[in-house]
Amino acid sequence: MIENLMYFFIAAIILIVCGIYLVKSLTKISKFLGISEFSLAFIIMAFATSIPELFIGISSALNGNPSLSLGNIIGANILNLTLVTGIIILLSKEIKFDSGKVGKEIYFMLVILAVMIFLFVIGKELSRLDGLILLGLFLIHVYGIFKKRKKYKAKIKNGRIKISGFYWLIIFLVALVGLFISSNFAVRYASLLAVDLNLPKIIIGLFLLSIATTLPELIFGILASKMKHNEMAIGDQIGSVVVNAAFILGVVALIHPISAEFIPFLVSAVFMFISAFIFVTFVKSGAKLERYEGISLILIYVLFVIVEFFAK
């Protein structure tokens, strides 16, 4: 047990270091590209932290079982919108931000979730055409974000800007690889620790492993908030949900139409949309997310676990 604990702490330390450099590099890259930190986290970091879901989705589709991806996406979105965001708020005490900088992207998250649910309900599956619709909406929105960006007025020579941008891009990629490798080790040794401590399997699956598999979003969000880049923390959470529901499900549906049992899908999908609506309400109701809101989000996740348990 001591050995597993030691390896877990080593992985956790590497996670924190990589998370710090991810925040720093994204800050520099956002200035280099001339776009807001929120937009950058919404697109680039959201893509990066959604890579595990993408791999799971493609693999499940190629193996003829895309419903695994659908369940994974819905579960990950609920987790990000409730438990992960709630933990970030509690550990940061509060998250202050300019609600105006969040922009219309947060409403697009609600739209894409509603479209995804609507397409599944009317067709009893997500067809290849539905996949094209989701991908089309996502690409149009991403194009709009880059098109609206303000031009970056350089105070130094262009050559130096390009060198600096390339340097921080390398730092970002190295930190990103380190983040995923260390998070995988953290998951492995957290599981072994749970076995050593004789924790029930349901606790391991619902809490310890679920939190461990969202460590990239969790670590990035906490560090971004602590380093006063709160728009990045919010942007990554919203962007991850959009990437999951629009891009990943769109790709999976193109490979193989996604079907699933209707009632279990409807229960979890409605809960996902309600979680997203409450999240949007909290973000747009003021210029900060406080502890009571973080606690509320965590309790929503607990309620989801209870509802799913009795539904099954």
- Domain 2-311 coded CATH 3.30.70.20: no
Instruction: Tell whether the model's pLDDT for residue 140 goes beyond 50.
Output: yes
Residue with the bigger pLDDT between 105 and 173: it is 173
Question: pLDDT per residue over 73-129, tens digit each?
Answer: 888 888 889 988 888 888 877 777 666 666 677 888 899 999 999 999 998 889 999
- Nearest of 72, 53, 67, 46 to residue 138 by alpha carbon: 46
Token pair 């139409």 in the structure block, residue: 257
Highest mean pLDDT among 127-131, 160-164, 257-261: 127-131
Question: pLDDT per residue over 3-13, tens digit each?
Answer: 877 887 787 67
Q: What is the DSSP string of 209-254?
A: HHHHHTHHHHHHHHHHHHTT-HHHHHHHHHHHHHIIIIIIHHHHHH
Contacts 24+ apart (CB under 8 A), 26-29: 26/172, 26/229, 26/232, 27/229, 27/232, 28/164, 28/165, 28/168, 29/165, 29/168, 29/169, 29/172
Number of C-beta neighbours around residue 14 at 10 A = 17
Question: pLDDT per residue over 176-212, tens digit each?
Answer: 788 777 766 766 676 676 677 775 544 444 455 456 5
- Specify whether the CB–CB gap between 94 and 225 falls below 8 A: no
